Structure 1
Amino acid sequence: MVNEKDERILMDSKEDINEKLKVMLLALGIGILFNYFFIWDSIGISGVIFNAVVIGGAIWTIYPKSNINKKLSWIFLIPIAFLSLTYCIYNNEVLRYINTILIPLLIVSYVIVIRYENIKDINLYFLEMIFSRIFYLSFALTPKFFDAIKAMINSRKSPKENSTKKNILKGLLISVPLLFVIVGLLTSADMMFKYYVENIGNIFLNLNIWSFIGHTIIIMTVTLYMFGFLWSFKYEEKKYKHIEESKASVNWEPVTIITILFVICIVYLLFSIIQFSYLYGGGTSALPKGFSHSEYARKGFFELILVTLINFTILLLSMKLCNKSNVKINKIANISYSLLIIFTFNMLFSANYKMNLYEKAFGYTRLRIFVHVFMLLLGVLLIIVLIGIWNKKIHILKCAVIASSIIYIALNFMNVDKIIARNNIARYNETKKIDIGYIETLSYDAAPEVIKLLDVDDVRIRSEIEEYIKYEKSLIKNSNDHWYEFNYYKKDFLTLKVSH
């Protein structure tokens, strides 16, 4: 029986030399582009161009074994387009770091989907394929690059090879003395040409050898990795169907699960009654003695989020492992799942309420805004699960991926830093409290709101903001000097007016 390694060797031997050369040159081009765009430079419009080149190159490599019209592929292609676009608009460092990790995952997912026709849905094995392709297969296939070079050299050996080499050498020997004569005449005829010929050596004298070596290492590393990644799609994926046919070996009795959920729901019911009695309706006077709303929010928020995540895990495991043979008991189990979701909604609402109290007391930060969005995502996912409980036609995982993508894209485009600055400035107008140090750590995206602090009465705040704007302007002017680093809010920041 032929193993997977032998199959790859057989496929490689059948692959045309020109096809290998095409993938090698494409990988080299991506390596050079990566070095040109991203080494010591900020990511701007370069992010859009680079990602488009990688996707376009991958499609070119796997053609005609690709189906770009596959509906599932749009779940990944649309987020790639929107998230890539954020690089030339926004500057939120946290989201940029996340996108730098997320976009490659989405690109790999997209290429896998359009390459393999048997992948028609999102499941656990699909996720395994993504990480295997990134962290194992692409590295494992990098030696194929050198095998391809060796194959090309061997393929070009022929009886006429020695004769061709002799003819080339003869041509070079004849052309050298001719070049001396021609260049001498041209330098006499044109002073500018003479100047450039005489100074051509300065190019090599001014070359930083260590910088050259560093860039060469980066280019070759990216080239080898990209070759391994692109070449991996030459192979067929055969394990998918076998994995899909396997079923969960563990089946819990519905009565056991219903009992567990019933006990948990009783506790959550008591918790909800207490919540409504003093948190939502009672006001500050209803809190236990010695507690302020801000202290209460700070002490309970993260615990509620943790409980929500535990509930979500219990819910998914129960639905996955529950024995569904008994229809009547299964309906009771569905009711139990629904009750757990309702109580979990109350916890999310409570956690959001606590966070609002905390923000009013201590101000707004990125983490607190992100937490609000995360709670919104959990709420949407719970709704999807609730619908999926009663409608088995709903594919919960696929809907969850789509919902998560929409919310995350919205987070990228809502301009988090601008919202933080606006809310903190509004809070300052009410309380005269503001953390200027934190405001100055926000990205250039917050500039349209930050500049409003130049109109406040506090001279110290006005002075700090003026110095901050002048300093950041000088940084942008000294660092962003390439067209591919273009970013809308950086450009807009340079137009801010400060007093002299």
Structure 2
Amino acid sequence: MNTTNQNNISTLKLLLAGVVPALLFCILFYDNLFHLKPFGLNVPLSLAAFYLLMAAAFGKKFFRLLVRAPFHSVYAVLLSITFVLFNDPVLLSINACLIILLVGEQIMLGTGQALYAPYSVHMVGDSLSCWFSLSFGGIGGAFRQYRNENGSRFSGILIGITIAVPILFAVIPLLLSGDAVFAHFFTAAFGSLEWGDIIGRVLIALALFVLFSGLFWSLANRAPRKPPVSAAPAAKKERTIPFSASLIILFALSAVLAVFCAIQFFYLFSSRVPAGVTYAEYARSGFWQLLGAAVIVMLTVLLLLRFGCPCTPAAFQLRRILAAFLLGCTLILLLSSFSRMTLYEQAFGFSQLRLFTQFFMTALFAFLIIVILRLWLPRIDLKKCAFFCFMTCYLILAFWNIDAFIARENIKNQGKKADISYLTTLSADALPYYIGLLDESDFTITIIPEDEFQYDTAAYQYLGNDRILLYQDDETLRQAWHLRRMMRSLESSAGDWRYFNVGREAAQEALAANPQLIENIDKIKEALTAGLS
């Protein structure tokens, strides 16, 4: 296909760049968003397909794009793999957002369209500009290219598709009802689709075709920004905090934290406590307060360094030493908070919030070390270091399989005393570790007429129609509700390659080994559903 002088991407490539991702979305993601099926293998496959599409559309330009922001691809690919391995909904939601942001900023950096310097919080603005500004802004140019190419050939294609779609909606149902073999192959290829789904998929596909056509046209035809923001001369920083004020703040904080750190070494880290206080009471509290104090101190030091007025070399050296000392004390604060949290977990078990907090402490600890080095090595770019530090720590968390870790460790440390009700609220990754502690007899129910009910026999729920559901207790009913919700998610994705997930496969095997438990939970669900209807 020949291109015109105004078009930097051939019309055929532009057409494919609009059609392929639209079709892939309808095949791979429609059920995830509109039928709430869990994600799986479809996420890394779609990311790989998008990169291949970029390579086919732009060739060498695409590889230059990868070279300019290589770590964005590495992080995005690694995050996409977590959808095949794990099921924690909080982490997977964050992973999805990060993948979109990383790929969007990578495109903007590689094509010279970036509004801000790389590796900063402004990546959110660049990504939104990519997915929205370039997409919507390029729609007009893309369709002008379709209309003007080779005597309106592509305009004819689009008109033909627009007319063919409603005709197919009328013909396909007749063919499905008229021939069983055709209906079998159609169902095998597309599943049991309802007409609402078919119409929805078509509308989504048309909308995405328009948006991706606009995006690729913009990427191909918009000239790079000159000069790039990253190459622009840095504006002179305003210095508004006098040296005397900085000195007072640093001295005051240093004095308080020096005393606090001394107490930590004398008591907490040496397992000694003053009379009248038990070590358990002393160590298993205060971690949230200490984490908050560490964050406040770190932000204070960074603001003093950023806005502190110029001073003599000797005064500058003093300010740097005090800042380094204060940041060192902040490291002790984080260590104290981390150790307290660890002791608390040993006594009361692990939870998502506690582990998320510990990972944040770890990332903050690593970043503070970099900030201390920055005091003596001015060439260190704090923005880039913060990006890599927190992204790397988050990747470790994303691959930790946190739900499985919580279930395994809580049961190992607490045995039957572990909080099973909490574990059932976790994802399918945790199920294989606690299902052995579930007693199937606890989920046995009895439905009796209301006039035969004795109020002191057991917990109960009124179902209506003069019927009463008896069960063990409220905790058992909550466990059954969470387990049934998980089972429904497992059933919806079973046997479909698009949603393959290692964690869900292990959970399916664990449930298959407990058929009576499944049957009892299903009975509870059916009874409650009948009562609510």
TM range (shorter): 0.7 to 0.9
Selected match of 2:105 from 105, 109, 115: 109
1:89 aligns with 2:78: no
SS of 1:495's equivalent in the other structure is helix
Change (3 A) 1:246 1:355: same
Alignment of 1:49-60 (within 5 A): 49-60=45-56
Q: Which moved more, 1:24-33 or 1:364-373?
A: 24-33
Change (3 A) 1:363 1:277: same
Question: What do the CA deviations read for 1:431-485 (whole angstroms, capped 9, x no partner)?
Answer: x52211111122222244224536x9x9859997999879855652344342111
- Kindly state the Cα deviation for residue 103 of structure 1 after the two structures are TM-superposed: 0.6
Give the structure 2 partner of residue 179 of structure 1.
none
Q: TM-score, normalised by structure 2?
A: 0.72
Question: What do the CA deviations read for 1:40-70 (whole angstroms, capped 9, x no partner)?
Answer: 2421111001111222323444444345486
Q: Which moved more, 1:91-100 or 1:135-144?
A: 135-144
Selected match of 1:397 from 352, 362, 383: 383
- Kindly state the Cα deviation for residue 322 of structure 1 after the two structures are TM-superposed: 3.5
Selected match of 2:21 from 12, 30, 36: 30
- Kindly state the Cα deviation for residue 487 of structure 1 after the two structures are TM-superposed: 0.6
1:387 aligns with 2:373: yes
Give the structure 2 partner of residue 211 of structure 1.
197
Change (3 A) 1:228 1:477: same
Q: d(CA) in 2 for partners of 1:390 and 1:24?
A: 54
Preserved CA contact (<8 Å) 2:115 2:126: no
Give the structure 1 partner of residue 125 of structure 2.
131
1:257 aligns with 2:257: no
- Kindly state the Cα deviation for residue 147 of structure 1 after the two structures are TM-superposed: 4.2
SS of 1:87's equivalent in the other structure is helix
Q: Which amino acid aligns with 1:212?
A: I
Preserved CA contact (<8 Å) 1:355 1:368: yes
Give the structure 1 partner of residue 514 of structure 2.
498
Preserved CA contact (<8 Å) 2:86 2:502: yes
Q: Which amino acid aligns with 2:106?
A: Y
Selected match of 2:30 from 10, 34, 39: 39
Question: What do the CA deviations read for 1:85-144 (whole angstroms, capped 9, x no partner)?
Answer: 1111111111101111111111112223333399997355xx536524415773464253
Q: d(CA) in 2 for partners of 1:91 and 1:266?
A: 46
Alignment of 1:51-200 (within 5 A): 51-68=47-64, 73-116=69-112, 122=118, 124=120, 127-128=121-122, 130-135=124-129, 138-139=132-133, 141-142=135-136, 144-157=138-151
Change (3 A) 1:147 1:90: same
Alignment of 1:284-299 (within 5 A): 286=274, 293=280, 297-298=284-285
Question: What do the CA deviations read for 1:142-173 (whole angstroms, capped 9, x no partner)?
Answer: 25324432443244449x9xxx9xxxxxxxxx
Same amino acid, percent of matched pairs: 24
Give the structure 2 partner of residue 240 of structure 1.
228
Change (3 A) 1:195 1:275: closer
SS of 1:494's equivalent in the other structure is helix
- Kindly state the Cα deviation for residue 486 of structure 1 after the two structures are TM-superposed: 0.7
Preserved CA contact (<8 Å) 1:89 1:488: yes
Structure 1, gaps ≥5 residues long = 1-11, 165-193
Change (3 A) 1:115 1:144: closer
Preserved CA contact (<8 Å) 1:334 1:389: yes
Question: What do the CA deviations read for 1:379-412 (whole angstroms, capped 9, x no partner)?
Answer: 0001111112112232222222222222111111
Q: d(CA) in 2 for partners of 1:35 and 1:154?
A: 29
Structure with larger RCO (C-alpha < 8 A, sep 6+) = 1
- Kindly state the Cα deviation for residue 361 of structure 1 after the two structures are TM-superposed: 3.6
Change (3 A) 1:67 1:337: farther
Change (3 A) 1:199 1:302: closer
- Kindly state the Cα deviation for residue 282 of structure 1 after the two structures are TM-superposed: 5.4
- Kindly state the Cα deviation for residue 370 of structure 1 after the two structures are TM-superposed: 0.8
Selected match of 2:345 from 359, 362, 373: 359
Q: d(CA) in 1 for partners of 2:8 and 2:376?
A: 55
1:422 aligns with 2:429: no
Q: Which amino acid aligns with 2:20?
A: G
Over the aligned positions, Cα root-mean-square deviation in angstroms equals 4.1
Preserved CA contact (<8 Å) 1:55 1:111: no
Q: d(CA) in 2 for partners of 1:402 and 1:109?
A: 15
Preserved CA contact (<8 Å) 2:142 2:217: no
Selected match of 1:272 from 222, 238, 261: 261
Q: Which has the higher helix share?
A: 1
SS of 2:369's equivalent in the other structure is helix
Give the structure 2 partner of residue 439 of structure 1.
423
SS of 2:288's equivalent in the other structure is helix
1:302 aligns with 2:318: no
Change (3 A) 1:303 1:225: farther
Change (3 A) 1:72 1:371: farther
Q: d(CA) in 2 for partners of 1:258 and 1:482?
A: 64
Preserved CA contact (<8 Å) 2:350 2:410: yes
Structure 2, gaps ≥5 residues long = 32-36, 157-177, 445-471, 517-533
Across the two proteins, how many residue pairs are aligned to each other?
447
- Kindly state the Cα deviation for residue 307 of structure 1 after the two structures are TM-superposed: 1.6
Q: d(CA) in 2 for partners of 1:99 and 1:335?
A: 39
Change (3 A) 1:470 1:216: closer
Give the structure 1 partner of residue 175 of structure 2.
none
Q: d(CA) in 1 for partners of 2:402 and 2:283?
A: 26
Change (3 A) 1:353 1:118: closer
Question: What do the CA deviations read for 1:185-221 (whole angstroms, capped 9, x no partner)?
Answer: xxxxxxxxx9579989x99xx9844333322232233
- Kindly state the Cα deviation for residue 355 of structure 1 after the two structures are TM-superposed: 1.4
Q: TM-score, normalised by structure 1?
A: 0.76
